[in-house]
Amino acid sequence: MSAASAASAASINWAAIDADPRFQKLHHKKVSFLLGLMIFSVAYYFLLPIGAAYFPQLFGIRVWGPINVGLLFALSEFIVAWAIAFYYSRRANREFDAMARELIADAEKIGS
Amino acid sequence: MNKRHALYLAAGALALPLVAMPALAQGAVASEWRWLTFTVFAAIIGVTMFVTYLAAKRVKSVADFYTAGGGVSGLQNGWAIAGDYLSAASFLGIAGLISLYGYDGFMYSVGWLVAYITVLLVIAEPCRNIGKYTLADILAYRNDPKKVRVVGAISVITVSTFYLTAQMVGGGVLVKTLIGIDYEISVIAVGILMLGYVLFGGMVATTWVQIIKAVLLVTASILLVMFVWLPYGFSLPAFLQAAIGDTKVQAQVATLLGDASKNMTAAELGQRFLEPGLLFKAPIDQISLGMALVFGTAGLPHILMRFFTVPTAQEARKSVIWAMAIIGGFYVLTLFLGLGAAMHVGAANIRAVDAGGNMAAPLLAQFVGGGGDSFLGNLFLAFVAAVAFATIVAVVAGLVLAAASAMAHDLYVGVIRGEHVTPQEQVKAARIATVIVGAMAIAIGIAAKGQNVAHLVALAFAVAASANFPCVLLTLYWKRCNTGGIMAGMVVGTLTAIGLVLVSPNMTYPKAIKAAAQKVVEGAPARAAALNEAKSSGDAAKVAKAENDLRALDAGVAKARDDLKRLENDNTSLVGLEKPLFELKNPGLISIPLGFLAVILGSLLYRDRRAEEMWDELYVRQNTGILAARAQAH
Residue B504, Cα to own-chain centre: how many angstroms?
Answer: 21
Pick from B274, B626, B633: CB nearest A66: B274
Say yes or no to pLDDT of B18 above 70: no
Q: Hey, of A20, A24, A46, A87, which one would you mutate to test binding to chain B, going by the most B CBs within 10 A of its CB?
A: A46
Residue B92 near residue B275 (C-beta atoms within 8 A): no
Which candidate from A66, A78, A104 shows the least CB-CB separation from B271?
Answer: A66
Q: Where are the alpha helices (DSSP H) in B29-102?
A: 34-58, 62-67, 74-85, 88, 95-101
Contact at CB, B274 and A100, closer than 8 angstroms: no
DSSP string across B87-120? -HIIIIIIHHHHHHHTHHHHHHHHHHHHHHHHII
What residues contact A90, with CB distance under 8 A and at least 6 apart? none
More confident of the two residues B511 and B593: B593
Contact B320, B327 (CB under 8 A): no
Q: What is the largest CA-CA distance in chain B?
A: 85
Which of A46, A70, A75 is closest, CB to CB, to B290?
Answer: A46
**Mutant choice from B114, B125, B297, B614 vs A, greatest count of A C-beta within 10 A:** B114
Whether B324 and A81 lie within 8 Å, measured CB to CB: yes
Listed residue (B348, B377, B387, B412) closest to B545, CA to CA: B348
Cβ neighbours of residue B134 closer than 8 Å, sequence gap 6 or more? B66, B152, B153, B156, B301, B305, B402, B405, B406, B409, B410
Mean pLDDT of B545-560: 80
DSSP percent split of chain B into helix, strand, coil, nearest 5: 80, 0, 20
Q: How far A39 CA lies from chain B's nearest CA (Å)?
A: 10
A30 contacts in B (CB within 8 Å)? 623
Residue B391's closest CA among B223, B211, B226? B211
By CA distance, what is B281's nearest residue in A?
A: A53
Three-state SS sequence of B172-220? HHHHHHHHCCCHHHHHHHHHHHHHHHHHHHHHHHHHHHHHHHHHHHHHH
B402 within 8 A of B84, measured Cβ to Cβ: no
Alpha-carbon B566 to chain mean position: 30
The pLDDT of B367-382, averaged and rounded, is 84
Return d(Cα B245, Cα A1) in angstroms, integer. Answer: 67
Average pLDDT of every residue of chain B: 85
Residue B13 clears pLDDT 50, i.e. is over it: no
pLDDT band, residue B28 (cuts 50/70/90): low
In this model, does residue B19 exceed pLDDT 50? no
User: Is-contact B403 B437, C-beta < 8 A?
Assistant: yes
Sign of CA dihedral B3, B9, B13, B15: positive
If DSSP codes are grouped into helix, strand and coil, which group holds residue B605?
A: helix
Nearest CA in chain B to A34: B121
CA-CA-CA-CA torsion for B345, B107, A78, B340, nearest 10 degrees? 10
Q: How far is CA B578 from the centre of its chain?
A: 30
Contact between residue B329 and residue B78 where contact means Cβ atoms under 8 Å apart: no
ipTM: 0.90
A37 and B121 within 8 Å at the Cβ level: the answer is: yes
Q: Closest Cα of chain B to A55: distance in Å? A: 10
Return all residues near B17 (Cβ < 8 A) that are at least 6 apart: B24, B352, B353
**SS percent in chain A: helix, strand, coil, step 5:** 80, 5, 15
pLDDT, mean of residues B7-25: 35
The CA-atom distances, in angstroms, between B402 and each of B124, B274, B302, B578 are 16, 39, 5, 37
Which of B295-299, B420-424, B547-551 has the lowest average pLDDT? B547-551
Flag if B283 and A52 touch (Cβ within 8 Å): yes
Mean pLDDT along residues B22-50: 72
In chain B, the residue whose alpha carbon lies closest to the alpha carbon of A80 is B114
CA atoms within 13 A on the CB side of B520: 19
Q: Do B328 and A81 touch (CB under 8 A)?
A: yes
Span B223-234, mean pLDDT? 92
B632 near B315, Cβ under 8 Å? no
Q: E strands, B473-592, where?
A: none
Contact check, Cβ <8 Å, A23/B620 = yes
At residue B99, φ and ψ (nearest 5 deg) are: -65, -30
Q: What is the DSSP code (8-state) at residue B407?
A: I
Interface mutation target, options A35, A41, A110, chain B, most CBs of B under 10 Å: A41
* pLDDT at position B9 over 80: no
Q: What is the mean pLDDT of residues A52-70?
A: 90
Judge contact between B563 and B31, C-beta under 8 A: no
Q: What is the pLDDT of residues B166-211, one digit of tens each?
A: 888 888 887 887 777 888 888 998 899 899 999 999 999 999 999 9
Within 8 A of B619 by CB-CB distance, chain A residues are: 18, 27
Which residues partner with A64 through β-bridges?
A67
pLDDT of residue B605: 93
State yes or no: pLDDT of B160 exceeds 90. yes
Contact A13, A112 (CB under 8 A): yes
Among the partner residues B103, B106, B623, nearest to A27 by beta-carbon distance: B623
DSSP-based three-state secondary structure for A67: strand
**A81 CB burial (10 A radius; 0-12, 13-18, 19+):** buried
DSSP state of B505: T
* Mutate which: B297, B623, B634, vs A, most A CBs within 10 A: B623
Q: Are B135 and B156 in contact (CB under 8 A)?
A: yes
Residue B629: the pLDDT is: 56
- Point out which residues pair with B416 in neighbouring strands: none
Give the model confidence (pLDDT) of B431-488 as tens digits. 999 999 999 999 998 988 877 776 788 889 999 999 999 999 999 999 999 999 999 9
Most confident segment among A93-97, B149-153, B551-555, B585-589: B149-153
A78: Cα separation from own chain's centroid: 17
Give dist(CA B33, CA B169) in Å, integer: 25
Of B110, B270, B275, the CB nearest to A77: B110
Question: Is residue B92 within 8 Å of B173, Cβ to Cβ?
Answer: no
CB-CB neighbors (< 8 A) of A41 in chain B: 114, 117, 121
CA-based nearest residue in chain B for residue A76: B110
Q: Say which residues have a Cβ less than 8 Å from residue B537's Cβ, sequence separation at least 6.
A: B543, B546
Which of A5, A9, A84 is facing B617, going by the closest CB pair? Answer: A9
Q: How far apart are CA B94 and CA B30, in angstroms?
A: 24
Taking 70 as the threshold, does the pLDDT of residue B7 lie above it?
A: no
Contact B617 A14 (CB under 8 A): yes
What CA–CA distance (Å, rounded) separates B314 from B53?
A: 30
The CA distance from A52 to the nearest CA of chain B, in Å, is 6
pTM of this prediction? 0.87
Distance of CA B321 to the CA centre of its chain: 21
From chain A, pick out residues whose CB is under 8 angstroms from the CB of B118: 38
Question: Whose CA is closest to B403, among B395, B189, B453, B632?
Answer: B395
Residue range B258-264: mean pLDDT, rounded: 82
The CA dihedral of B249, B251, B257, B261, to the nearest 10 degrees, is: 120
For residues B618 and B319, the answer to whether their CB atoms sit within 8 Å is: no
User: Residue B630 — very low, low, confident or very high, per pLDDT cuts 50/70/90?
Assistant: very low
State the smallest CA–CA distance between residue A74 and chain B in angstroms: 6
Strand (E) or helix (H) holding A62: strand A62-64
| Distance of residue A100 Cα from the nearest chain B Cα, in angstroms | 5
